[in-house]
Structure 1
């Protein structure tokens, strides 16, 4: 009997994860007026950890038996790398959001597809089809346009640079998470929330960042639970079935949802170059999402008679 990955289920998980993450950029942009970036990055992951802890407790109270595998010492290098990258990525993103529009940052987040795919190819030897390569090309061109405040004078946006750095960090992080995606997603998100969150908070406090707005802390914790906790939870499930590169391709719908939310909530009015970049990004994301599943070795399950 052959075990075949449920591709459609993986796609559904990836799109659900993307939809949940999409609220991050517009609402974080608003909350940055009340809380410094590094401190906010910490509370976002702490919110994810707290929320997932409640889910874990509910699962335990219901005595729901899970067949999920626990992390072992062999996954420790990937786990540590994942935590460190999860400290760096949101800090870079929030610093970028401070210096650029939420719509711009949302689209630039799609560079994560490029970073994830290239790293998956070069480091983890995942296969990339010609279609995905074309998708990567269009996304890179789009990011290039978005990264210049004035294309005619080639004036580079430092806000865009920070967003691109966050995408590269998440590209590495996606591949590290892929290596442990067969383990319990609840455990993975808890580790992210506790260690990445506390790590960012320590850095923020050391830098002298403070907030006097108590309500903003609870707001950030709630956003963290939805955009980081639940999103990562479903993202890990998607990676099991699709692999790192292809999951990121379907996850590409997140920036488009975030862009729409940014235009509605923040009333941001993009320039003509933005719409040209948007068209290229849509083509690139579509090509990436239409990529064929990565080649996997089929395993046979021996049934005892």
Structure 2
């Protein structure tokens, strides 16, 4: 009875943490938007400069957290190579996202925020020659329509079917989702070997290094107003750092499926925050798009989080007690699919929520 109460309390805290993580991640869409636009009251920050500051501050934030994890000396040449590739893909994705956000609406950016999950799933199916089942085609189509077709189609309609700045911004944000999916694919080579906090710290500094190199090569001015620093620190520490930690904690408390589903509410928080803090108009199309995406993700939950993995794991742990396991039973481990690894790698790369 006591263990059941403890388990219930732990699950309750897990739900609170993942909802808080989703809300914190959504802040990035809203806080960064005004800094990337031309304004008389605020200095326009170059997207590359913005990316450098976020990664550099994020790396500093994770340094004390990673102190007691894997020492850097344990990383081999292959590990460093993949972390370098992760860093390049990661910073390219965030810079592309910021360039897109500078002309697109924060509402559309929020709706597109789950795109890397879908693109990562598509890459996984292409690599492993997997196919969608018939029952999975409908929710997958719902996500594509809600996340891409409706928002972009609405923007085209609003601008007389001209490929204007806003539509271009939408396409750049979607492209950033493709880059994030490539990033996730690379992550599987280091995600299972090292602690998430250490990987996050190192990759953050690699991203910062790539960004500062671009700043030097292209002679980009570091124009940042002092009044913008609190917002940048908020995005770095709350929007990426604490959001990552809360995601990882929830993952252990309530499992992969529930964590993934609840974390997708980042889009909901992003739309709400955009309407409240940026005074952007939330249209009926936006609500329909959001509804299609969230419903599609819910219906596709087994595919996204590893079909049957959670059920199989629960069945094994509930039917086999530690003291009565046979040798054969102790060797039985639920097979973790590529989709499960994708979601675990997304957990390791918590800063991808910036896109």
TM-score, normalised relative to structure 2: 0.68
Relative to structure 1, the CA distance from residue 124 to residue 295 in structure 2 (aligned partners, 3 Å threshold; closer, same or farther) is farther
State the partner residue of 2:140. Answer: 136
Relative to structure 1, the CA distance from residue 41 to residue 67 in structure 2 (aligned partners, 3 Å threshold; closer, same or farther) is closer
Q: Distance in 2 between matches of 1:171 and 1:30?
A: 27
State the partner residue of 2:108. Answer: 104
Q: Distance in 1 between matches of 2:169 and 2:70?
A: 44
State the partner residue of 2:156. Answer: 150
Is 1:117 matched up with 2:121?
A: yes
Relative to structure 1, the CA distance from residue 282 to residue 293 in structure 2 (aligned partners, 3 Å threshold; closer, same or farther) is same
Relative to structure 1, the CA distance from residue 56 to residue 78 in structure 2 (aligned partners, 3 Å threshold; closer, same or farther) is closer
SS in 2 for 1:264: helix
**Residues matched between the structures, number:** 285
Deviation per CA, 1:27-51: give whole Å up to 9, x if none: 1112324322111011111121111
Greater RCO, 1 or 2 (C-alpha within 8 Å, sep 6+): 1
Q: Cα offset for 1:146? A: 1.0
Is 1:200 matched up with 2:211?
A: yes
Q: Cα offset for 1:129? A: 5.8
Quick check: 1:87–1:199 contact (8 Å CA) kept in 2?
Answer: yes
Structure exhibiting the larger radius of gyration computed from Cα positions? 2
- More displaced 10-residue stretch of structure 1: 177-186 or 154-163: 177-186
State the partner residue of 1:26. Answer: 30
More helix per residue: 2
TM-score, normalised relative to structure 1: 0.78
Q: Cα offset for 1:91? A: 0.5
What is the alpha-carbon root mean square deviation over aligned residues?
3.5
Unaligned stretches of 5+ in structure 2? Answer: 1-10, 38-42, 314-327, 332-355
SS in 1 for 2:211: helix
Q: Distance in 2 between matches of 1:288 and 1:137?
A: 11
Deviation per CA, 1:157-176: give whole Å up to 9, x if none: 00101100111111121232
State the partner residue of 1:219. Answer: 231
Is 1:80 matched up with 2:66?
A: no
Quick check: 2:84–2:203 contact (8 Å CA) kept in 1?
Answer: no
Quick check: 1:20–1:231 contact (8 Å CA) kept in 2?
Answer: yes
Q: Cα offset for 1:85? A: 1.0
Q: Cα offset for 1:233? A: 4.6
Q: Cα offset for 1:209? A: 3.5
